[in-house]
Structure 1
Amino acid sequence: MSSDILKQSRSAMKNAKVDIHTRLMKSYKQVPQWWFYILLIGSIGISLLMSFVWKDEVQLPWWGMLFAFALAWIVTLPIGVIQATTNQQPGYDIIAQFMIGYVLPGKPIANLLFKIYGRISTVHALSFLSDLKLGHYMKIPPRCMYTAQLVGTLVAGIVNLAVAWWMLESIENICDVDSMHPDSPWTCPKYKVTFDASVIWGLIGPQRLFGPRGMYRNLVWLFLIGAVLPVPVWVLSKIYPEKKWIPLINIPVISYGFAGMPPATPTNIASWLVTGMIFNYFVFRYHKRWWQKYNYVLSAALDAGTAFMGVLLFFAFQNEGVNLKWWGTHVDHCPLATCPTAPGIAAKGCPIFK
């Protein structure tokens, strides 16, 4: 993978190989580089200005902004090569929040902003490149693609901000399960995960949780384990070069499969894991050739079917006031999940940690 990254970096500095698609696209006017430079410099300038003008609300100082910019600049190329090769985009959200949590403990808003600038910038950059690649193959003029991306980003940002503002102002006790009506659909499971992450990595800080005296200090060893895991595969590929399937084992891709698990309750995660393992085992065991041929089509069909059924259930049932109570969605099956984990704190029905 490192050789691929170096190869792609060198080719980016030179003239790339001209294929039939590139020759056909030369009929259109290309996007000038200064268009991208204006967006880059303008975004950096506005972000730095925000850290100076609203420094108390933002909590992230100017050097923290520059740190986030540098992080995104360093990792975008290698992650882009991995995504182009494996169709997987490894996330480093936790690493970004871990780093800034050590540097700026007790500042949850700064932690979230660092994640946005240091990680989400990479996500949007690669998404932008993916759209440009699709437009390249579909022979859409580059300037039209650029304009559509820019206008779409502005419209999406304004609409999302307006809708979020309207919902916060009009829906009483939104996302607060204890204060809302029992049948209210506004429980916000995914955004609670974001809120919890800001509390864990920003307000509390990784030092208190994963430091030498933290309760979860042993979990830090997983960073070392993850770095060492690919080594046995590489060693085996050298010992048994005739086994062509050994180099195909990609530990980062296998590990990243867990990123597809649903958010929120442990019941969702367990059902996702069990269903996926059973389904893939039987399909691969008894229909291997079918699985190899239609795996990507099956994955896209399952995603599309889930999205379609979600919209259908909303308009057919929830929008008409009919709430379906699925098994496992209203009960966490873990009554101790709300218990305090700090040593010496007593709560009714909860164990006391020492």
Structure 2
Amino acid sequence: MKSQMMGYGWAGVFRKFLVDSPYMWWPSNLVQVSLFRALHDIEKRPKGGLTRLQFFLIVLISSFSYYIVPNYFFQSITALSFICWIWTNSVTMQQIGSGLFGLGVGSFGLDWSTVAGFLGSPLATPGFAIINIMFGFFMILYVITPIAYWTNTYEAKRFPIFSPGVFTGNGSVYDVNKVLNPKTFEFSQVGYDQVGQVNLSIFFVITYGLSFATLAATLSHVGLFHGRSIWRQTRESFQNQIGDVHTRLMKKNYKDVPQWWFYAILISMLALAIATCEGFGNQLQLRYWGVILAGGLALLFTLPIGIITATTNQQPGLNVITELIIGYAYPGRPLANVSFKTYGYISMSQAIMFLQDFKLGHYMKIPPRSMFLVQLVGTIIASSTYFGTAWWLLHKIENICDPSKLPEGSPWTCPGDAVFYSASIIWGVVSPRRMFGNLGLYEKVNFFFLVGLLAPLPVWVLSRIYPEKKWIKLINMPVILGATGNMPPARAVNFIMWGAVGIFFNLFVYRRFKGWWARHNYVLSAGLDAGVAFLAILSYFTLQSNNINGPKWWGLELDDHCPLASCPTAPGINVEGCPLYE
């Protein structure tokens, strides 16, 4: 709850820039606005057509009815990889064709959760952002990764081509228990000397490098393209001149929320966080200065990342930079690393969500003080509910988050937690110095910081030389570099389907059937999301909570049936279930 409330405070600090500004339009809010209008507006049905409410209900019922297939009866339909089924004994072809564990060439899914589960609804993402993301995705996955893997960069062939796991030099899974002192829960140098250095799959290495580049590119992009407007808005905010028609209407009709309300929440939550970390026998391993530093990072990055999110519907992550900084400052302490990440990255992420909600209230003309109170109370209720639910699930679901021990068809595989676990090893236990510093294998990855810092510069220069070519300003280097930031846990098939659906609706349909798109696109997105959500909840409480996971057959597995896609191809590397190359 502290991280959420801290996020509330950061949102208040930057409200004038990211909510009142007419240039910060928050695309995903348009889905909610369209849904609310469909539900509440009195609309006359056009002859031979449907009202938006009727259209929404039809989509909702259809999505709800269909989702029983990929959620319960035929989970494999979420990722169909035909290349693997043709070349059943070829590691290379399965690496190329697997939509879950490889490059995903030719793979696809027939499930809305495959499309929108990790990247959000493509219908709510502007067309230019979709082009940026898919360009970055294709360059990273189909150019950079294959070249790096098949040239054996960083001994890439010893490990899977795509995996969030951590490995030893011989290709086996890294045993973190041997490098972690069970009494102090800190790094053990003796154990590390026995096990050796941590190795990553080549895609995971590239992902970390690009996350470095994305952070640097975000700062330089915002400085180059939005620096003047930020300075202008700063001056105007002190003169109360900032805003568009929405802002003027809000200020005319409602009392604004005093800034000191947000500052009071922020200061009190920072104090509570410090007290929590310093108390309880220092079990969280993080000291007071770590909490203050994490807050400083959130303060630094909320505005630039908020600008990217408010204009492209894509949020660059701050998780890597927080892990990197505390990993260098306080190495060998995984709990300190996770706590620092929570107060730095998670609080900033929560701030972005709060700002998005504030903008929604802005569009819907909800009184700011009512919005403040509802969000405050909702945060307290939601965080308490989340904590209770998580605690209950950990005790209720046996072997939760361990796919190797879960029954067939179980949904409790926790793909995001696998990435979080690997990150805690890389940054918290082993420390970045032994990964990306002078003691590690991946020191050259730090050059990605320089690449990211310089990447927006050519685009900015071209936009100044050719101001009449508006499309140049639509090239967003932070979005391109961070295109695969959600991989893993997102997989190739998620991006392929997300891009295909987004390009079809927000480019083809938008241009050919603009009237239909304006009337139904966002309502369609809301209906698809709602149908999946309602059926998932119903299915859990009636079936999956009772360990009723569907009929036993080939299609029940949440897998694309490419067992060799995760195999190494280096000679002499012996992994169970994989062919041995001589």
Structure 2 counterpart of 1:39: 265
CA separation of 1:107/1:308 partners in 2, compared to 1, >3 Å: closer, same or farther? farther
2 CA distance for matches of 1:297 and 1:91? 31
- Specify the code of the residue in structure 2 equivalent to 1:308: G
Measured after TM superposition, the shift of residue 43 of structure 1 is 0.5
Q: Distance in 1 between matches of 2:453 and 2:513?
A: 31
The letter of the residue matching 2:229 is D
Question: Structure 2: which amino acid aligns with 1:275?
Answer: M
Tell me if structure 1 keeps the 8 A contact 2:308–2:315: yes
C-alpha distance after superposition, 1:255-294 (max 9, x if no partner): 3443455x43xxx612123334555667788667138884
Q: 1:190 and 2:416 equivalent?
A: yes
User: Equivalent residue for 1:312?
Assistant: 535
Q: 1:125 and 1:278 mapped to 2: Cα distance?
A: 31
Give 3-state SS (helix, strand or coil) of 1:247's partner.
helix
Deviation at 1:67, TM superposition (A): 0.3
Q: In structure 1, how many angstroms separate the alpha carbons of the residues matched to 2:519 and 2:443? A: 39
Residues 111 and 201 in structure 1, CA contact (< 8 A), matched pair in contact too: yes
Bigger mean CA offset, 8-17 vs 156-165: 8-17
Counterpart-to-counterpart distance in 1, 2:500 and 2:486: 16
1:135 to 355, 361, 369: 361
User: How far apart in 1 are the matches of 2:519 and 2:288?
Assistant: 44
The separation in 2 between residues aligned to 1:232 and 1:20, in whole angstroms, is 35
For 1:113-152, list aligned pairs within 5 A. Answer: 113-152=339-378
Distance in 2 (alpha carbons) for counterparts of 1:114 and 1:2:
29
The whole-number CA distance in structure 2 between the counterparts of 1:160 and 1:285 is 38
Correspondent of 2:550 among 305, 319, 323 = 323
**Contact residue 435 and residue 442 of structure 2 kept, 8 A:** yes
Question: Separation in 2 of the partners of 1:329 and 1:280?
Answer: 24
Does the 8 Å CA contact 1:284/1:291 hold for their aligned counterparts? no
User: Could you say which residue in structure 2 is the equivalent of 1:178?
Assistant: 404
Q: Is the 1:175–1:187 contact (alpha carbons within 8 Å) kept by the matching residues of 2?
A: yes
1:25–1:136 CA contact under 8 A, matched in 2: no
Counterpart check, 1:14 vs 2:239: yes
Instruction: State the one-letter code of the partner of 2:538.
Output: F
Residues 222 and 300 (structure 1), Cα distance of their counterparts in 2 relative to 1, 3 Å cut: farther
Give the percent of matched residue pairs that are identical in Structure 1 and Structure 2. 41
SS of the residue aligned with 1:258?
Answer: coil
Deviation at 1:42, TM superposition (A): 1.3
Write out per-residue CA displacement over residues 31-72 of structure 1, whole angstroms, 9 at most, x where no aligned residue: 333332321221011111111113532111111111001111
Q: CA deviation at 1:134?
A: 2.5
Shift of 1:112: 1.6
Superposition TM-score, scaled by structure 2 size: 0.52
1:228 aligns with 2:454: yes
Q: In structure 1, what is the equivalent of residue 321 of structure 2?
A: 95
Could you tell me whether the CA contact under 8 Å between 2:409 and 2:556 is conserved in 1?
Answer: no
> Comparing 169-178 with 195-204, which one deviates more in the overlay?
169-178
Counterpart of 1:8, as a letter, is: Q
Contact 1:28 1:142 in 2 (8 A): yes
Instruction: Note the C-alpha offset of 1:23.
Output: 4.5
Aligned pair in 2 of structure 1 residues 33, 281: CA closer, same or farther (>3 Å)? Answer: closer
Matches within 5 A, 1:1-354: 1-17=226-242, 21=246, 22-23=248-249, 25-54=251-280, 56-259=282-485, 263-264=488-489, 269-278=491-500, 289-290=511-512, 294=517, 298=521, 301-302=524-525, 304-306=527-529, 308-309=531-532, 311-312=534-535, 315=538, 319-320=542-543, 321-323=548-550, 326=555, 329-330=558-559, 333=562, 335=564, 337=566
In 2, Cα distance between the equivalents of 1:4 and 1:319?
A: 53
- Contact 1:317/1:323, CA 8 A, preserved across alignment: no
Shift of 1:113: 1.5
SS in 2 for 1:246: helix
Corresponding residue of 2:45? none
Label 1:182 to 1:74 Cα distance change in 2 as closer, same or farther (>3 A). same
Q: d(CA) in 2 for partners of 1:101 and 1:121?
A: 19
Report the CA distance shift for 1:334/1:114 in structure 2 as closer, same or farther (over 3 A).
farther
Letter in 1 for 2:407: H
Shift of 1:16: 2.7
CA distance in 2, matches of 1:23, 1:103: 48
Name the CA distance, whole Å, in 1 between partners of 2:519 and 2:492: 24
What is the SS of the residue equivalent to 2:413? coil
* TM-score, normalisation: structure 1: 0.81
CA distance 1:149–1:348, change in 2 (3 Å)? closer
CA distance in 2 between counterparts of 1:130 and 1:278 reads 26
Rounded to whole Å, the distance in 2 between the matches of 1:106 and 1:29 is 50
The alignment partner of 2:402 has SS state of: coil
Instruction: Indicate conservation of the 8 Å contact 2:434/2:440, yes or no.
Output: yes
Cα distance, 1:242 vs structure 2: 4.4
State which drifts further: 242-251 or 38-47: 242-251
Query: Are the equivalent residues in 1 in contact too, given 2:409–2:558 (CA < 8 A)?
Result: no
Q: Distance in 2 between matches of 1:71 and 1:323?
A: 46
Summarize the Cα distance change of 1:238–1:40 in structure 2 as closer, same or farther, 3 Å threshold.
closer
- Structure 1 residue 88 displacement after superposition: 3.3
For 2:379, give the aligned amino acid: T
Give CA-to-partner distance per residue, 1:144-201, whole Å, 9 cap, x none: 2111111101101111111111222233332223344344332222222222222222
The one of the two structures with greater contact order (alpha-carbon pairs below 8 A, sep at least 6) is: 2
Deviation at 1:10, TM superposition (A): 2.7
More displaced 10-residue stretch of structure 1: 288-297 or 190-199: 288-297
Deviation (angstroms), 1:100: 1.3
